[in-house]
Structure 1
Protein backbone atom coordinates (compact mmCIF):
# COMPACT_ATOMS: atom_id res chain seq x y z
CA UNK A 1 0.00 0.00 0.00
CA UNK A 2 1.48 3.36 -0.95
CA UNK A 3 0.90 6.69 0.74
CA UNK A 4 -1.98 7.56 -1.60
CA UNK A 5 -3.87 4.39 -0.65
CA UNK A 6 -5.47 4.43 2.76
CA UNK A 7 -7.18 1.33 4.06
CA UNK A 8 -10.84 1.94 4.84
CA UNK A 9 -11.83 1.47 8.45
CA UNK A 10 -15.32 1.25 9.85
CA UNK A 11 -16.87 1.54 13.29
CA UNK A 12 -19.43 -1.04 14.35
CA UNK A 13 -22.20 1.56 14.03
CA UNK A 14 -21.28 2.32 10.44
CA UNK A 15 -21.49 -1.34 9.44
CA UNK A 16 -24.69 -1.86 11.39
CA UNK A 17 -26.30 1.06 9.60
CA UNK A 18 -24.98 0.10 6.16
CA UNK A 19 -26.26 -3.48 6.41
CA UNK A 20 -29.34 -2.68 8.52
CA UNK A 21 -28.40 -5.07 11.32
CA UNK A 22 -27.79 -4.64 15.03
CA UNK A 23 -24.48 -4.11 16.78
CA UNK A 24 -25.28 -7.30 18.65
CA UNK A 25 -25.43 -9.28 15.39
CA UNK A 26 -22.02 -8.01 14.36
CA UNK A 27 -20.56 -8.88 17.77
CA UNK A 28 -22.14 -12.34 17.48
CA UNK A 29 -20.44 -12.92 14.11
CA UNK A 30 -17.20 -11.85 15.75
CA UNK A 31 -17.73 -14.33 18.61
CA UNK A 32 -18.32 -17.06 16.01
CA UNK A 33 -14.94 -16.29 14.44
CA UNK A 34 -16.40 -14.89 11.24
CA UNK A 35 -15.11 -11.34 11.73
CA UNK A 36 -11.88 -10.24 13.34
CA UNK A 37 -11.79 -6.50 13.93
CA UNK A 38 -8.78 -4.79 15.36
CA UNK A 39 -9.17 -2.98 18.65
CA UNK A 40 -8.19 0.50 19.59
CA UNK A 41 -8.81 0.66 23.31
CA UNK A 42 -12.39 -0.48 23.88
CA UNK A 43 -13.45 0.19 20.28
CA UNK A 44 -13.64 -2.32 17.48
CA UNK A 45 -12.23 -1.18 14.16
CA UNK A 46 -13.33 -3.11 11.10
CA UNK A 47 -11.39 -3.06 7.84
CA UNK A 48 -12.61 -3.65 4.31
CA UNK A 49 -12.03 -7.42 4.64
CA UNK A 50 -14.44 -7.48 7.60
CA UNK A 51 -16.97 -5.42 5.63
CA UNK A 52 -16.81 -7.82 2.68
CA UNK A 53 -17.10 -10.80 5.01
CA UNK A 54 -20.13 -9.27 6.69
CA UNK A 55 -21.74 -8.82 3.28
CA UNK A 56 -20.96 -12.49 2.46
CA UNK A 57 -22.32 -13.68 5.82
CA UNK A 58 -25.60 -11.90 5.20
CA UNK A 59 -25.81 -13.18 1.62
CA UNK A 60 -25.09 -16.71 2.84
CA UNK A 61 -27.88 -16.44 5.41
CA UNK A 62 -30.32 -15.24 2.73
CA UNK A 63 -29.38 -18.26 0.61
CA UNK A 64 -29.96 -20.62 3.53
CA UNK A 65 -26.36 -21.35 4.49
CA UNK A 66 -25.58 -21.85 8.15
CA UNK A 67 -22.94 -19.77 9.87
CA UNK A 68 -20.86 -22.95 10.17
CA UNK A 69 -20.99 -23.39 6.39
CA UNK A 70 -20.00 -19.76 5.85
CA UNK A 71 -17.15 -20.20 8.32
CA UNK A 72 -15.95 -23.28 6.45
CA UNK A 73 -15.76 -21.28 3.24
CA UNK A 74 -13.88 -18.45 4.99
CA UNK A 75 -11.42 -20.88 6.56
CA UNK A 76 -10.88 -22.56 3.22
CA UNK A 77 -10.16 -19.20 1.62
CA UNK A 78 -7.81 -18.18 4.46
CA UNK A 79 -5.80 -21.40 4.45
CA UNK A 80 -5.80 -22.18 0.75
CA UNK A 81 -5.22 -19.48 -1.83
CA UNK A 82 -6.56 -21.83 -4.50
CA UNK A 83 -9.95 -20.37 -5.32
CA UNK A 84 -10.79 -23.45 -7.43
CA UNK A 85 -11.09 -25.51 -4.24
CA UNK A 86 -13.31 -22.90 -2.65
CA UNK A 87 -15.45 -22.57 -5.77
CA UNK A 88 -15.83 -26.35 -6.03
CA UNK A 89 -16.96 -26.53 -2.42
CA UNK A 90 -19.37 -23.66 -3.00
CA UNK A 91 -20.85 -25.48 -5.99
CA UNK A 92 -21.36 -28.62 -3.88
CA UNK A 93 -23.00 -26.62 -1.10
CA UNK A 94 -25.20 -24.81 -3.61
CA UNK A 95 -26.32 -28.11 -5.14
CA UNK A 96 -27.22 -29.42 -1.68
CA UNK A 97 -29.22 -26.26 -0.87
CA UNK A 98 -30.98 -26.47 -4.22
CA UNK A 99 -31.95 -30.12 -3.56
CA UNK A 100 -33.35 -29.20 -0.14
CA UNK A 101 -35.32 -26.30 -1.63
CA UNK A 102 -36.74 -28.50 -4.39
CA UNK A 103 -37.91 -30.99 -1.78
CA UNK A 104 -39.45 -28.20 0.30
CA UNK A 105 -41.20 -26.86 -2.80
CA UNK A 106 -42.65 -30.30 -3.57
CA UNK A 107 -43.80 -30.62 0.05
CA UNK A 108 -45.46 -27.19 -0.09
CA UNK A 109 -47.19 -27.99 -3.38
CA UNK A 110 -48.49 -31.24 -1.91
CA UNK A 111 -49.78 -29.44 1.19
CA UNK A 112 -51.44 -26.76 -0.96
CA UNK A 113 -53.24 -29.46 -2.94
CA UNK A 114 -54.38 -31.12 0.26
CA UNK A 115 -55.63 -27.79 1.62
CA UNK A 116 -57.52 -27.18 -1.63
CA UNK A 117 -59.23 -30.56 -1.26
CA UNK A 118 -60.16 -29.95 2.39
CA UNK A 119 -61.46 -26.48 1.53
CA UNK A 120 -63.57 -27.86 -1.34
CA UNK A 121 -65.11 -30.56 0.91
CA UNK A 122 -65.90 -27.99 3.59
CA UNK A 123 -67.58 -25.70 1.06
CA UNK A 124 -69.63 -28.61 -0.36
CA UNK A 125 -70.78 -29.70 3.11
CA UNK A 126 -71.57 -26.12 4.08
CA UNK A 127 -73.61 -25.67 0.91
CA UNK A 128 -75.49 -28.92 1.61
CA UNK A 129 -76.21 -27.80 5.19
CA UNK A 130 -77.46 -24.42 3.99
CA UNK A 131 -79.70 -26.09 1.37
CA UNK A 132 -81.08 -28.39 4.05
CA UNK A 133 -82.00 -25.45 6.28
CA UNK A 134 -83.72 -23.62 3.44
CA UNK A 135 -85.61 -26.63 2.11
Structure 2
Protein backbone atom coordinates (compact mmCIF):
# COMPACT_ATOMS: atom_id res chain seq x y z
CA UNK A 1 0.00 0.00 0.00
CA UNK A 2 1.45 3.38 -0.98
CA UNK A 3 1.04 6.59 0.98
CA UNK A 4 -1.55 7.63 -1.62
CA UNK A 5 -3.85 4.68 -0.81
CA UNK A 6 -4.83 6.04 2.61
CA UNK A 7 -8.62 5.81 3.04
CA UNK A 8 -8.87 9.03 5.06
CA UNK A 9 -11.30 11.53 3.57
CA UNK A 10 -11.44 15.28 3.94
CA UNK A 11 -14.05 17.96 3.46
CA UNK A 12 -13.16 21.10 1.53
CA UNK A 13 -13.18 23.16 4.72
CA UNK A 14 -10.73 20.81 6.43
CA UNK A 15 -8.23 21.10 3.60
CA UNK A 16 -8.71 24.85 3.41
CA UNK A 17 -7.94 25.21 7.14
CA UNK A 18 -5.01 22.80 7.02
CA UNK A 19 -3.32 24.68 4.18
CA UNK A 20 -4.54 28.15 5.20
CA UNK A 21 -6.29 28.83 1.91
CA UNK A 22 -9.90 29.46 0.97
CA UNK A 23 -12.33 26.80 -0.21
CA UNK A 24 -12.66 28.97 -3.35
CA UNK A 25 -8.96 28.39 -4.08
CA UNK A 26 -9.47 24.65 -3.86
CA UNK A 27 -12.48 24.84 -6.18
CA UNK A 28 -10.37 26.92 -8.60
CA UNK A 29 -7.69 24.20 -8.64
CA UNK A 30 -10.44 21.71 -9.45
CA UNK A 31 -11.68 23.92 -12.31
CA UNK A 32 -8.11 23.96 -13.66
CA UNK A 33 -8.08 20.15 -13.68
CA UNK A 34 -5.49 19.84 -10.91
CA UNK A 35 -7.74 17.96 -8.50
CA UNK A 36 -10.81 15.80 -8.96
CA UNK A 37 -12.52 14.85 -5.73
CA UNK A 38 -15.35 12.40 -5.65
CA UNK A 39 -18.79 13.61 -4.62
CA UNK A 40 -21.44 12.50 -2.24
CA UNK A 41 -24.48 14.43 -3.37
CA UNK A 42 -23.38 18.07 -3.54
CA UNK A 43 -20.45 17.54 -1.16
CA UNK A 44 -16.91 17.08 -2.37
CA UNK A 45 -15.01 14.22 -0.78
CA UNK A 46 -11.24 14.53 -0.91
CA UNK A 47 -8.97 11.53 -0.53
CA UNK A 48 -5.37 11.57 0.66
CA UNK A 49 -4.21 11.71 -2.98
CA UNK A 50 -6.17 14.99 -3.34
CA UNK A 51 -4.54 16.30 -0.17
CA UNK A 52 -1.09 15.39 -1.53
CA UNK A 53 -1.89 17.09 -4.84
CA UNK A 54 -3.02 20.22 -3.03
CA UNK A 55 0.21 20.23 -1.07
CA UNK A 56 2.19 19.88 -4.33
CA UNK A 57 0.16 22.65 -6.01
CA UNK A 58 0.93 25.03 -3.16
CA UNK A 59 4.60 24.05 -3.10
CA UNK A 60 4.81 24.60 -6.86
CA UNK A 61 3.23 28.05 -6.51
CA UNK A 62 5.64 28.92 -3.69
CA UNK A 63 8.55 27.94 -5.95
CA UNK A 64 7.19 30.16 -8.71
CA UNK A 65 5.72 27.54 -11.01
CA UNK A 66 2.53 28.33 -12.86
CA UNK A 67 -0.55 26.18 -12.43
CA UNK A 68 -0.10 25.10 -16.05
CA UNK A 69 3.39 23.83 -15.23
CA UNK A 70 2.09 21.97 -12.18
CA UNK A 71 -0.70 20.48 -14.31
CA UNK A 72 1.85 19.31 -16.89
CA UNK A 73 3.68 17.39 -14.19
CA UNK A 74 0.44 15.90 -12.85
CA UNK A 75 -0.65 14.90 -16.36
CA UNK A 76 2.68 13.20 -16.97
CA UNK A 77 2.37 11.29 -13.72
CA UNK A 78 -1.25 10.33 -14.45
CA UNK A 79 -0.45 8.94 -17.91
CA UNK A 80 2.80 7.27 -16.87
CA UNK A 81 3.59 6.96 -13.18
CA UNK A 82 7.22 6.26 -14.12
CA UNK A 83 8.81 8.83 -11.86
CA UNK A 84 11.94 9.11 -14.07
CA UNK A 85 10.01 10.97 -16.78
CA UNK A 86 8.36 13.25 -14.25
CA UNK A 87 11.65 13.87 -12.45
CA UNK A 88 13.43 14.74 -15.70
CA UNK A 89 10.66 17.21 -16.55
CA UNK A 90 10.86 18.67 -13.05
CA UNK A 91 14.63 19.07 -13.38
CA UNK A 92 14.22 20.89 -16.69
CA UNK A 93 11.52 23.16 -15.26
CA UNK A 94 13.69 23.82 -12.19
CA UNK A 95 16.66 24.79 -14.38
CA UNK A 96 14.45 27.17 -16.37
CA UNK A 97 12.98 28.70 -13.21
CA UNK A 98 16.48 29.09 -11.71
CA UNK A 99 17.69 30.88 -14.86
CA UNK A 100 14.76 33.30 -14.72
CA UNK A 101 15.31 33.97 -11.02
CA UNK A 102 19.04 34.46 -11.56
CA UNK A 103 18.33 37.05 -14.25
CA UNK A 104 15.80 38.78 -12.00
CA UNK A 105 18.35 38.84 -9.18
CA UNK A 106 20.96 40.39 -11.47
CA UNK A 107 18.40 42.98 -12.60
CA UNK A 108 17.53 43.79 -8.99
CA UNK A 109 21.20 44.10 -8.04
CA UNK A 110 21.76 46.50 -10.96
CA UNK A 111 18.73 48.57 -9.92
CA UNK A 112 19.96 48.66 -6.32
CA UNK A 113 23.32 50.00 -7.52
CA UNK A 114 21.56 52.67 -9.58
CA UNK A 115 19.41 53.61 -6.59
CA UNK A 116 22.54 53.85 -4.42
CA UNK A 117 24.09 56.23 -6.99
CA UNK A 118 20.96 58.40 -7.18
CA UNK A 119 20.69 58.48 -3.40
CA UNK A 120 24.36 59.46 -3.01
CA UNK A 121 23.99 62.28 -5.57
CA UNK A 122 20.84 63.56 -3.86
CA UNK A 123 22.53 63.51 -0.46
CA UNK A 124 25.57 65.36 -1.83
CA UNK A 125 23.41 68.03 -3.45
CA UNK A 126 21.28 68.37 -0.33
CA UNK A 127 24.42 68.78 1.82
CA UNK A 128 25.68 71.46 -0.58
CA UNK A 129 22.34 73.27 -0.41
CA UNK A 130 22.37 73.20 3.37
CA UNK A 131 25.88 74.66 3.37
CA UNK A 132 24.63 77.40 1.08
CA UNK A 133 27.03 76.62 -1.73
CA UNK A 134 24.35 76.13 -4.37
CA UNK A 135 21.74 78.72 -5.22
After TM superposition, the score normalised by the length of structure 2 is 0.93
Give the structure 2 partner of residue 23 of structure 1: 23
Give the structure 2 partner of residue 102 of structure 1: 102
Matched position secondary structure for 1:45: strand
CA deviation digits over 1:29-86, x for unaligned, max 9?
Answer: 0000000000001100000000000000000000000000000000000001211010
**Equivalent pair of 2:13/2:23 in contact (CA under 8 Å):** yes
Give the structure 2 partner of residue 126 of structure 1: 126
Give the structure 2 partner of residue 12 of structure 1: 12
Give the structure 2 partner of residue 32 of structure 1: 32
Coordinate RMSD, CA, aligned: 1.3
Give the structure 1 partner of residue 73 of structure 2: 73
Q: Flag as ranges the 4+ runs of structure 1 deviating above 2 A.
A: none
Give the structure 2 partner of residue 45 of structure 1: 45
Give the structure 2 partner of residue 55 of structure 1: 55
- Listed as ranges, the gaps of 5+ residues in structure 1 are none
CA distance in 2, matches of 1:82, 1:39: 29
- Listed as ranges, the gaps of 5+ residues in structure 2 are none
Say how many residue pairs are matched.
Answer: 130
